[in-house]
Amino acid sequence: MTLRIDAGVQLGPLALAVEVGVQPGEVLAVLGPNGAGKSSLLRIVAGLVALDRGRLTVDDDVLDDPVGNVFVPPDRRPVGMVFQDYLLFTNLTALENVAFGLRARGVGRTTARLRAAELLDRMGLSSHAMARPSGLSGGQAQRVALARALATSPRVLLLDEPLAALDATTRTGVRRDLRHHLNDFEGMTIVVTHDPVDAYALADSVAIVDHGEVVQRGTIADVTAHPRSQYVADLIGTNLVAGDVANGVLVTSSGAQVVVAGAAPGPGFAMIRPQAIALQRHVATDSSVRNSWTGTIGPIDLLGDRVRVGVLGALPLTAEITAASLAELDLQPGDAIVASAKATDITAYPA
Amino acid sequence: MPSRRRRVDRQRLPIPALILAIIAIAFFALPFIGLVWRTPWRLTWEVLTDPDVRQALWLSIWCSLWATALSITFGVPLAWLLARVGFPGRGVVRALATLSMVLPPVVGGVALFFSFGRRGLFGQYLYNWFGFRLPFTTRGVIVAQTFVAMPFLVLTMEGALRQMDRRFEDAARTLGASRGYVFRRVTMPAVWPAFIAGCVLTWARALGEFGATITFAGNFPRTTQTMPLAIYLALESNPDEALVLSMVLIAVSFAVLIGLRDRWLGGSARALT
């Protein structure tokens, strides 16, 4: 009882090669930068894009298998999709939109409308059943789109950037509602998003997609605790250093060294939280701190009472210090600086 | 208040453009005023009750509606093919499908005659094998009108099919709609205004068709003599009658154009579920 995607397809310049599975009741967030192939993954599952290689199955049903010459067209897949911008049919009312899938599958008008009314009611939209999409707010339109996708009782639910079309003020509430509705859904759900906050709020697990490949897959806690790509490190705002570990020292490709306590030898990552990095004008000679790197001050970003300071050098880092420290040190871009961190504040793990 | 001033500016056309637009309106209106002024209205009843005239009017309406129906039947799939399917030689096919719009209609009529005439390249088989004759019959009128009018439907529909947001079709497919259902419930409603506009253009072109009809179908009262042919003929023998006939044709066309505009083009699309 799972959705298994083993997808190989060439989409213009992008070679998509994704292998991922989703369990019933699981909400998987697919997170990645624009153009990474996230939406294409959903279109593959929906049957709007055919595979060149690989295999797509839901439970025991093969949906796409180029080798076995199987391709189930989109209208016969057990898949519901909520599109970016929702794509509600503008000439139909909210009720008719939700009833569309049932009508298309040959359900009688009365039965289809009853079922649609039920779903709208569950979404708290009964009073808007007769409204046209142009008369709905972004959050309401999203719920109609969700009801429309769920009306045909799919086993797989796909959501393409379900919150991107909303403004900041309504977003939080709509996100909470969506989480609630996704919890009720017993099938397999994939949510595509570029916002880690959405992924964190909506999903149980996350797959990071970059350049057409899954670069990391796991629970959200696991992925954020042990990022394995610069993209994830940037998303959660931490420093990630890749290199080879030998004798408790990680050496990067540019020759910079990070002392990591008790790390296993071999290729590995070191994560250094920006808050754990201290900045000094001069190298301290009598310090217990094992790691210190020289560099110059890069961009300085003010975040309220905290400041993010870029350090450029053999080991590029971002440090987070208080605004008071910044003022005291009187740091300017281009100044020489020494960044340091205790080995115990650095998390190291094998690549 | 600057914002208010900007709004007013946007609504008002610059004076030179306004003058040119008024000249254009006058250019369309003046010929009709001249026609109305010159029309011998006292003859109206006499002309309208003439059985030959009623026959010509009826034939015109009948044939132009048939031509429109045939254009829809074959033109919509052709527009679909041109808009959605990339195939080698698509440009050539599009040029071919619109050629009869550019050609002098007489040339189209001659081409039809040498292809589908009784001794024509294809027409001889139609006649010898099935006893089916097109030239100098009402069917010939319909074929000639379809030949020159269908491009208007094909072109407008192709443009609309290209411009529509195809993601709505994708959405319908994922909801379980077959391709036929998507076409009827999503695609057609989306291109509905263009479809109606194309139908009106096609019908109007068929109604006014003269050159191809007279060349291919001839000018026989009751079978092939449509209004434009009757008007042209009357112009030589009885100009007063020609004027009244022209007014009748104008009235019918104008009524249909205005009626369709209010009914289909102005209002919103219908609910379809």
Going residue by residue through chain A, which has 351 residues, state the pLDDT in tens, using 9 for 90 and above: 589 999 999 988 889 999 999 999 999 999 988 888 899 999 999 999 999 999 999 998 999 999 999 999 999 999 999 999 999 999 999 999 999 999 999 999 999 999 999 999 999 999 999 999 999 999 999 999 999 999 999 999 999 999 988 888 888 888 999 999 999 999 999 999 988 888 889 999 999 998 888 989 999 888 888 998 888 898 888 999 999 998 888 889 888 888 887 778 889 999 999 999 989 888 777 676 778 898 999 999 988 888 999 999 888 999 999 988 888 888 888 888 999 888 888 888 888
Residue B28 sits in the same domain as residue B158: no
Tell me how many domains chain B contains.
2
Residue B6 sits in the same domain as residue B122: no
User: How many CB atoms lie under 10 A from the CB of residue A191?
Assistant: 27
Residue B120 sits in the same domain as residue B55: yes
Across the interface, whether the CB atoms of B176 and A96 are under 8 A apart is answered: no
Minimum distance, in Å, between the CA of residue A7 and any CA atom of chain B = 19
Q: Do domains A3-230 and A237-350 have the same CATH topology?
A: no
Does residue B271 form part of some domain? Answer: no
pLDDT attached to residue B6: 53
Residue of B228, B68, B210, B58 lying closest to B146 (CA atoms): B68
Residue B161 sits in the same domain as residue B66: yes
Of all residues in chain B, the percent with pLDDT exceeding 90 is 55
Residue B4 sits in the same domain as residue B114: no
Residue with tokens 């629970």: A219
Q: Give pLDDT tens digits for B199-211.
A: 998 999 999 999 9
Residue with tokens 């529509």: B164
Amino acid at B63: C
Report A:60-99 residues touching B (Cβ under 8 A). Answer: 73-77, 79-81, 83, 87, 89-93, 96, 99
Minimum distance, in Å, between the CA of residue A75 and any CA atom of chain B = 4
The rounded Cα A25 to chain-centroid distance in angstroms is 18
What residues have CB less than 8 Å from B59, skipping those under 6 apart? B138, B141, B222, B223, B224, B225, B226, B227
Residue B101 sits in the same domain as residue B58: yes
Residue B1 sits in the same domain as residue B94: no
Evaluate if residue B108 carries a pLDDT over 80.
yes
Q: Which of A49, A58, A72, A87 to mutate to test the interface with B (most CBs of B within 10 A)?
A: A87
Does residue B227 form part of some domain? Answer: yes
Does residue B273 form part of some domain? Answer: no
Contacts of B195 in chain A (CB under 8 A): none
Across the interface, whether the CB atoms of A92 and B167 are under 8 A apart is answered: no
Residue B203 sits in the same domain as residue B255: yes
Amino acid at A270: A
Q: For B215, what's the count of Cα atoms within 13 Å in the CB-facing half-sphere? A: 21
Whole-angstrom distance, CA of residue A301 vs CA of residue A314 = 21
Amino acid at B33: I
Residue B152 sits in the same domain as residue B31: no
Does residue B176 form part of some domain? Answer: yes
Q: Give pLDDT tens digits for B164-182.
A: 999 999 999 999 999 999 9
Residue B100 sits in the same domain as residue B212: yes
Number of residue pairs across A and B with CB atoms under 8 Å?
Answer: 79
Domain that holds residue B150: 45-266
Query: Is 3.40.50.300 the CATH number for A3-230?
Result: yes
Please state which architecture CATH assigns to domain A237-350.
Answer: Beta Barrel (2.40)
Residue B2 sits in the same domain as residue B106: no
Across the interface, whether the CB atoms of B174 and A47 are under 8 A apart is answered: yes
Residue B184 sits in the same domain as residue B202: yes
Across the interface, whether the CB atoms of B174 and A96 are under 8 A apart is answered: no
Does residue B80 form part of some domain? Answer: yes
Residue of A131, A149, A142, A190 lying closest to A166 (CA atoms): A142
Residue of A nearest to B170 (CA): A48
Across the interface, whether the CB atoms of B174 and A76 are under 8 A apart is answered: no
CATH number, domain containing residue B120 = 1.10.3720.10
| 8 Å CB contact between A113 and A99 | yes
Residue-range domain boundaries for chain A: 3-230, 237-350
ipTM of the complex in this document = 0.83
